[in-house]
Chain A
Amino acid sequence: MTETFTPTRPIWCAGCGDFGVLEALITALDELQIPVHDRMFIAGIGCSGSLQNYLSCYGYHALHGRVLPTATGVKLANPQLTVVGVGGDGDGYAIGGGHLMHSFKRNPGVTYIVMNNGTYGLTKGQASPTSVTGFQGNTEEDLDPIMLGLSIPGSTFLARGYSGHPAQLLQLTLAALRHTAAGQGLSYLEVLSPCVTYNDTYREWRTGVFNIDSEDGYDPGNRAGAFERMSELREQGRLPLGLIYQGERPALESLALNPEFAAPARQDLNDPGLAAGYREAMQSFIR
């Protein structure tokens, strides 16, 4: 076996919620038997954006906020890869917030996991888009990206987990990867992942979370119902966990790629069979 890079020990603080996400991902990818060379991780900037260094994969450390467009480019060029985007709330909701909306609409075959700790930990604790009002002088309302996702008709998989509930987090991670593997497009999983150093929310979240998975009669296939329930829970100051919405819509790559050809990354560019088409393109400037 060829020696490649050795996954290192995480740089995260002891007790960081991101450990739970890493553990869930390693377990889920193994359980789904995805070979390490078919795993492509696209990571953002921030503490969570170093996750790709801690497991065996093809890893890419994206520019700040650009996880989703990058991951979309990867998937379109080579749909055989299992593409997982990882990053934090600053990366995904602030500097990269515009891409989130368009990615819901676009529905690429990517699993996107946002480790939400409500702060910018790596730069020492500034307010982020999901910080509650009052945190570090924050005068803005916190953003609920699940409700944003529900409001965009193209979204197909919206879930929220919590590092403090590892069993449910593993199930949600598996469900997200399976949704995308089944050709249903973007699976979006937000994980409440406390920053023990700058915004230790374990205590608030332990009592504040609400497990929608175990609520009788909740239907994750009903977008309007999901939106209504999310609004109610928010009014009550609760944080819903679980599979919040799952719909059906073909993934972007199944609509954007020409099925008569190998995927862009897998084409033989020196195939002599291409010559006739090139000649036709040339002739189009003469005829």
Chain B
Amino acid sequence: MSGSKPRLEDLSIIVSGQGGDGSLTVINILADVLRSVGMRAYTERDVLSRIKGGIVAATLRACHDERLCIGSQIDLIVVFDLFAIRKQAHRLNDRSIVIYDSSGGGLPDDSGVPEGARVIGIPFSRHAVRMFRSDIYKNSISSAVVGRLIGLNDDDMRAAFEKRFGRRGAEALKYNLDALAVGHELADEVGLAADEGLYEIVSADSKPHMLITGNEAVAFGFVVAGGRFFAGYPITPSTDIMEWLQKWLPRFGGVVRQPEDELSVINMAIGAALTGTRTMVATSGPGLSLMQEGIGQLGMAEIPLVVVDSQRSGPSTGMPTKPEQSDINLLVYGGHGDFPRIVLAPGTPQECFHITVKACNLAEKYQLPVFIALDQGLSQNLATIDPIDEGQVVVERGKRLDAESLAGMAVYKRYAFSKDGVSAFAPPGTPGGMSLVTGNEHDEFGQVSTDPGNRTRMMQKRQSKLQSMQADLPRAVTHGVETADIGFVGIGMTHGVILEAMDILAARGVPTQYHQLQTLWPMLDETPDFTRGCPCVFVVEYNATGQLARLIVAHGGEEAHIESVLIYDGVPLRAEDLVQKVIERMDSRRHKAA
């Protein structure tokens, strides 16, 4: 309407209150409306391991261009609880806007809100209780106010509500639409009229984006790759994978089971995998610790399985809802004895999809465990991405025998020695393919054997897969200026932050480059090579001991070139903070050199 309004380029909104206030709902509704009008959205959650109570927050970044992280500053904050404003105030500036629930009175003097910030008080809770006899409707009411403020069309908001609440029945839809209307009236009362929002919303492109989390993208990738059996035990932050599959996998004839514990999960999955069914499990650190014996069994008995680890803060129970990447050692080295494995690490929901497909193919081709390393941020943060072309997926099943091919063979040995270390597999039920599969050391037929010569050859056969798979492993993605003296290495949820930090540094005239690993294990030469070729490499990771940096150094990386950036306080890194660290470390390096 108004040509003088600024275009919505980059806006970070935080909604905070007590657990159970519905902060996440408000953010998810807004993200969906923004997606539907062609904007990019990215959300982040800061929640506690309890059903209700405590101060929680959900953050949304709305951008014209793709950003896979939250901005360093908060432009707009909605608070349902006065404790929440104190907790978040340090991220506000004098241009920030504060909308607070004034049902319990005005903002206290010591709220910490910077001078100059625009403050709007609306008694959301009082209206919700009066109109709907339930406090929870304050999230629908406040969504309406925020929509008005940033310039979202009332009709677009209504459409998003119809989509979201329509699934919950006619009554839920009616009450929430009424709440939306109440919110719009309250917006009128405080001078936030329709079509007079702060921004003009111009869609980036006309094609519709997907709004998806990393967990959902993994689950979706598994289905399209032909995954037909999934087992899991509820554990934050991996549970959404099981929940998505419970809904979708049966529609393709697949099975999802939630057995009694992670020991049952991994062994039930092994049972399904033994039949030649594409199988996956998903868990987080504590569950992966329990599964270790099964992981070794996969390696020894040469059983294909995809294992997703959505990492959270450890050790032990740690901080269940907070991000970390501290299972790298467990993923790469976990389990007793020596056996081959693959560890892959996506950085975006798009990569989560494609890497899961790849993991399914690699598991069957090389008959071993393939891990997908996620973290709480990548797993649970919602992002808009370009539509996935699921039609391009190719299912590669490796060396499989059917009755006909077996009939042409004089002898079938499940663990026959071969050049690439992989022996042909006949699924149980196939005439002529009877075999023994065991975690004991075995001969080519699968008969238990402690013969030293056989042992040596069998160990070499299994280990040789690590060589034969090399050409098949996903390569690192490189970003930035190839000749830059400053480099970054990172996986998972550091990806979006590193990209934004690179843009900030570039704008200040500091070129950088970035080596985004996709394969953690076996470590490809490209990664240590990168640290040798770049004089200062910031390895950014969410753990206390530099597990990724150590892994790179152990494989020939140049230790003197590596600067470890370690985060283990449970708080997601912001790009400005990373830029600050880079500048400080570079200064200190120059100082030392001089």
Contacts and interface: CB of A to CB of B under 8 A. Distances in A.
Interface of A: 1-6, 8, 35-38, 40, 42, 50, 52-53, 56-63, 65-66, 69-78, 80-81, 98-99, 102, 106, 256-258, 260-265, 267, 269-270, 274-275, 277-279, 281-282, 285-287
Contact of A102 (B248, B264, B294, B390): B264
Given A258-B250, A287-B163, A53 B211 contact: no
Contacts of A77: 228-229, 255, 271-272, 274-275, 277, 279
B395 A270 contact: yes
A11 to B, nearest CB: 9
Nearest to A279: B390
A57 B434 contact: yes
Contact of A277 (B211, B252, B387, B393): B252
Given A81-B428, A98-B260, A256-B255, A264 B229 contact: yes
A285 to B, nearest CB: 4
A38 to B, nearest CB: 6
Contacts of B231: 73
B581 to A, nearest CB: 35
A58 B428 contact: yes
A262 B253 contact: yes
Interface in B433-447: 433-440, 445-447
B94 interface: no
Given A2-B407, A3-B411, A78 B435 contact: no
Contacts of A73: 229, 231, 257, 267-274, 279
B267 A69 contact: yes
B577 interface: no
Contact of B263 (A8, A37, A66): A66
For A2, A72, A267, the residue with the greatest tally of chain B CB atoms inside 10 Å of its CB is A2
A106 B430 CA distance: 28
A281 B219 CA distance: 11
Given A66-B294, A278-B390, 13 more contacts: A4-B412, A5-B413, A6-B445, A36-B434, A59-B446, A69-B264, A70-B271, A73-B267, A78-B275, A265-B272, A265-B429, A269-B397, A285-B211
Contacts of B362: none
B431 interface: yes
A281 B220 contact: yes
Contacts of A66: 263-264, 267, 270, 294
A270 to B, nearest CB: 6
Contact of A37 (B272, B393, B434): B434
Contacts of A274: 252
A70 B250 CA distance: 20
Given A61-B438, A74-B275, A281-B223, A267 B433 contact: no
A265 B445 contact: no
16 contacts: A2-B407, A2-B433, A8-B447, A60-B436, A61-B438, A66-B264, A72-B268, A73-B269, A78-B428, A78-B429, A98-B261, A99-B260, A106-B259, A261-B252, A265-B276, A282-B210
| List of 4 A-B pairs having minimum Cβ-Cβ separation, nearest first | A73-B271, A261-B253, A269-B226, A61-B438
Contacts of A260: 253
Interface of B: 163, 208-212, 216, 220, 223-224, 226, 228-229, 231, 248, 250-255, 257, 259-261, 263-265, 267-279, 293-294, 297, 301, 387-388, 390-391, 393, 395, 397, 406-407, 409-413, 427-440, 445-448
| Residue of B250, B397, B431, B438 contacting most chain A CB atoms (<10 Å) | B438
Contact of B264 (A36, A42, A99): A99
A102 B272 CA distance: 18
Nearest to A71: B271
A66 B211 CA distance: 40
A2 B411 contact: yes
Which of B211, B220, B428, B448 has the largest number of chain A CB atoms within 10 A? B428
A38 B276 CA distance: 14
B435 A2 contact: no
A106 B448 CA distance: 32
Nearest to B394: A270
Contacts of A281: 220, 223-224, 248, 390
A10 B250 CA distance: 42
Query: Which of A6, A60, A72 has most B Cβ within 10 Å?
Result: A60
A172 to B, nearest CB: 25
Between A1, A37, A38, A263, the greatest number of chain B beta carbons within 10 A of the residue's beta carbon is seen for: A37
Contacts of B427: 78, 265
Which of A6, A66, A75 is most buried by chain B, counting CB atoms within 10 A of its CB? A66
B370 to A, nearest CB: 17
B275 A286 contact: no
Contacts of A37: 428-434
Contact of A76 (B255, B265, B390, B411): B255
A264 B429 contact: no
A30 B397 CA distance: 34
Contact of A267 (B216, B253, B274, B428): B253
Contacts of B279: 73, 77
A36 B412 CA distance: 15
A258 B220 CA distance: 19
Given A73-B274, A262-B253, A80 B429 contact: yes
A61 B439 CA distance: 7
A98 B269 CA distance: 17
B205 to A, nearest CB: 14
A5 B446 contact: yes
B438 A264 contact: no
B434 to A, nearest CB: 4
A71 B412 CA distance: 24
Nearest to A11: B448
A56 B413 CA distance: 14
A66 B301 CA distance: 15
A22 B411 CA distance: 26
A37 B430 CA distance: 6
A40 B428 contact: yes
A266 B497 CA distance: 44
A67 to B, nearest CB: 9
Contacts of A270: 226, 395
A111 B533 CA distance: 61
B271 A264 contact: no
B410 A3 contact: yes
A47 B265 CA distance: 25
Contact of B251 (A50, A75, A265, A277): A277
A285 B446 CA distance: 45
Nearest to A262: B253
B274 A74 contact: yes
B243 to A, nearest CB: 13
Nearest to A57: B434
Nearest to A66: B267
Given A102-B259, A274-B252, A2 B406 contact: yes
A42 B229 CA distance: 19
B322 to A, nearest CB: 26
B386 to A, nearest CB: 11
A286 B270 contact: no
Contact of A286 (B260, B387, B407, B430): B387
B277 A264 contact: yes
Contact of B437 (A35, A61, A80): A61
A252 to B, nearest CB: 9
